[in-house]
Amino acid sequence: MKSYVLSAAVAAILAGTFLSCGKKSNEIIIGGVAPVTGEAATFGASTKNAFDLAIEEWNGKGGIDGKKLKLAFADDKGDPAEGATVFTKLIQQDKAVAILGPVMSKVALAGAPIAQAASIPMMASTATNPKVTLVGDYIFRACFIDPFQGTVGAKFALEDLKTKKAACIFDVGNDYTKGLSEFFKAKYTALGGEVVAFEGHATGTTDFKAQLTKIIAAKPEILYVSDYYNDAALIAKQARELGFKGPMVGGDGWDSPKLTEIGGAAIEGSFFTNHYAADDTRPIVQEFVKKYKTKFGAEPDALAVLAYDGAYLMFDAIKRAGKLDGPSIKAALTATDMAVVSGQVKFDSDRNPVKSAVIVEVKNGKFVYRATVNP
């Protein structure tokens, strides 16, 4: 009797396994991680929208090798501990063949070792901390990293704005702004320009006049302001008040409507490097903006673009791999050379994308596409 029950149970389990295998063979499970609740909820929402849109489009074209893509989505709540839990769940329970996301570097740093250990390729969309992809050879990202922006800003200031003397101002207590300024300085100097002043300021201060006075006395033609929009706007106002007439250049930390709201006329005619510009005329950009707007009723932000690009890069790799095992997908990702919304992407040896950045100009209180700068 007992053995009968046991064999029945075994049969049922086997049948179940075969059934689920049968079901799975028509589907490719893609893990998706983003913080749809918590402090970065708006970032998470754009990211999830982009995942959904990308999957819908690929399935509309027939999926990959006749198999439909299915998103197993998990909310990391912007919390590294939660991130580690959902990575484990997606890999072990949902049997995801690849993971898209997360958004934040701190969560990516918690999840990446789990993906790496399981040999599951991961495509962080907007985690900019250089350490993320250094976790291992299965960890990729869709965004360029901080140092790159400083380099692009320097190239633009020298070659497009035709300046020879620049000055930098940054927050001494913030690695992002400090890093940008340092890389700007290195590139600007390497290309034959001169950085005449390199000034830091304390975190949380509102008075930048001492540094700006010193900067203006050194007569730079452009001012590189690597601060976030909040401080950048205030710096712009004070720089104008002290008589600085030239343009300012910044990084993607400027990308907020608050920049022009606080900065007003002072920030007009300045530029910043960004991942994409909504009014970039390339057809791939316009098509994406249109589709996103139709589906979600809002203009896509940079997070949506990078999440969408990340999904396309991953799906393209799965297609080229022809197999669903981690090593094959990883090998295909390494060989990527694909045009996506944010540019033509290849990966360098640290699995960071090598791609162009866009320069956005502040014009009449709006952000206008100005140029694409190649690395």
Residues that bind other proteins in the complex, under the rule CB under 8 A: 172, 199-202, 204-207, 209-211, 213-214, 217, 230, 233-234, 237-238, 241-243, 258, 261-264
Tell me 69's DSSP state. E
Task: Considering the complex, state which of residue 191 and residue 265 has its C-beta at the smaller distance from other proteins.
Answer: 265
CB 36 within 8 A of CB 48: yes
Q: Measured from the CB of residue 273, what is the shortest distance to other proteins in angstroms?
A: 23
Nearer Cβ to other proteins (261/348):
261
Least spacing, CB of residue 171 vs other proteins, in Å? 11
Smallest gap from residue 258 Cβ to other proteins (A) = 7
Helix (H, G, I), strand (E, B) or coil at 223: strand
Shortest reach from residue 267's CB to other proteins, in Å? 11
| Cα 258 from Cα 89, distance rounded (Å) | 38
The residue (of 116 and 256) whose beta carbon lies closer to other proteins is: 256
Which of 168, 318 has the CB closer to other proteins?
Answer: 168
Cβ(353)–Cβ(142) under 8 Å? yes
Burial of residue 161 (CB within 10 Å: 0-12, 13-18, 19+) is middle
Using an 8 Å Cβ cutoff, are 47 and 101 in contact? yes
Residue 45 beta carbon to other proteins: minimum distance, rounded to whole angstroms: 18
**DSSP state, residue 94:** S
Whichever of 17 and 206 has its CB closer to other proteins, that residue is 206
DSSP-derived secondary structure letter, 104: S
Residue 158 vs residues 143, 225, 260: alpha-carbon distances, Å: 24, 15, 25
What tokens appear for 88 in the block? Answer: 């484990």
Give the CA count within 13 Å in the CB-facing half-sphere of 45.
12
Q: Which is nearer to other proteins, 90 or 362 (CB)?
A: 362
Which of 228, 120, 118, 225 minimizes the C-alpha distance to 167?
225
Query: Minimal distance in Å, beta carbon 368 to other proteins?
Result: 21
Query: Which one, 16 or 257, has the nearer CB to other proteins?
Result: 257
Pairwise CA distance, residues 339 & 296, whole Å: 24
In whole angstroms, the minimum distance from the beta carbon of 25 to other proteins comes to 50
